[in-house]
Amino acid sequence: MIKAGIIGSTGYAGAYLASILLNHPQAEVVWYGSRSYAGQEYAGIYKNFFRMVDETCMSEDLETLAEEADVIFTATPQGYCAGRMNEDLLKKAKIIDLSADFRLKDRAVYEKWYGIEHKAPGFLERAVYGLCEINREQIRSARLLANPGCYTTCSILTLYPLVKEGLIDPATIIIDAKSGTSGAGRSAKVPNLFCEVNESIKAYGVTTHRHTPEIEEQLSYASGDLSGKAVKLSFTPHLVPMNRGLLATCYASLKDGATAEQIREAYENCYGEERFIRLRGEGDLPETRWVQGSNFVDIGWRIDERTGRIIAIGAIDNLVKGAAGQAVQNMNLMFGLEEQTGLMMPPAFL
């Protein structure tokens, strides 16, 4: 059995990670770490775990945890994992970080967009970006894994085949993405209160959202530019009054001569064998309700002949494929398991 520890187990992503691992046939949680709830019963915080989890929340002592666990998940705010990273930890346990601390390769870009100093820049090159469908082979041998977030996962996977095959002009990419409020985390913030969110939809981080450079970097790699700086795009996220789910609507101008058949082949070549990507095809557009509670990504598209653009749409559950499910998918690869182990939950419609 893989012994797993979760730091940040009482946040939304951490709690869903605990839920998935509870039913994983080859893993067990040995440490429910929480700064805010240390010493309290885990099932008293999340009562869905009543009579299923008997453990109390532990501290955020990574050094002690590394002695007990094979893998440590850090579902923590930006800066936590980088601030505690050292060689000794990585010798003892594999680390899967759900924050953005190791997603960007350029320290200066991280510090500009996140507004904090990066405390472990020496580990940036060693960290593997954990988008399983694209970096599978590198993930298998990783000890430090940067788990992508929800907006980046959905946006990158939706556009990746089009950029990789040169079917769109990357300078024309616009991403309009909408997420449920769980994507903003569990901590109390006035903008996320029920009365602030209900019966409304709002854009935020307009022109400044910190996931922008991450999407640009990964799509630049897809285009063949190893500097990670070739693609510049517009990304605007929105908060919608639902608990979970994410829909990314991506617009781009088609290159001259690009055909519907080439687009279909590009998606099939990239994702035709992927277990967790479901290609809806042209005209069959995804909805968040059809992926809720699952690790699936649904992708569909439509060509606008009048404007010469493609509209590609992706849908995920922001807590699963956008966070906890992807983290477990990465763990499976890192420990030589079948990728889908513990993750074949059907979407929970209704």
- Given a contact cutoff of 8 angstroms between Cβ atoms, the answer to whether 165 and 262 are in contact is yes
Crossing angle of helices 325-334 and 132-140, in 10° steps, is 40
| CB atoms near residue 93 (< 10 Å) | 21
In the block, tokens 């050094």 appear at: 63
Instruction: DSSP letter for 349, please.
Output: -
Q: Give every CB contact of residue 92 below 8 A, 6+ residues apart in sequence.
A: 66, 67
Backbone phi and psi for residue 310, each to the nearest 5 degrees, phi listed first: -115, 140
Note if 270 is an active site residue: no
Q: How far is CA 263 from CA 95, 157, 162, in A?
A: 37, 14, 7
Long-range contacts of 186-194, Cβ-Cβ distance < 8 Å, separation of 24 or more:
186/10, 186/11, 186/12, 187/11, 191/239, 192/239
Q: How far is CA 22 from CA 3, 47, 263, in A?
A: 12, 15, 40
How far is CA 17 from its chain centroid?
Answer: 12
Q: What is the CA radius of gyration of the chain?
A: 20
Which run of H or of E encompasses 176?
strand 174-179
Catalytic residue among 57, 81, 132, 150: 150
User: Which residues are catalytically annotated?
Assistant: 150
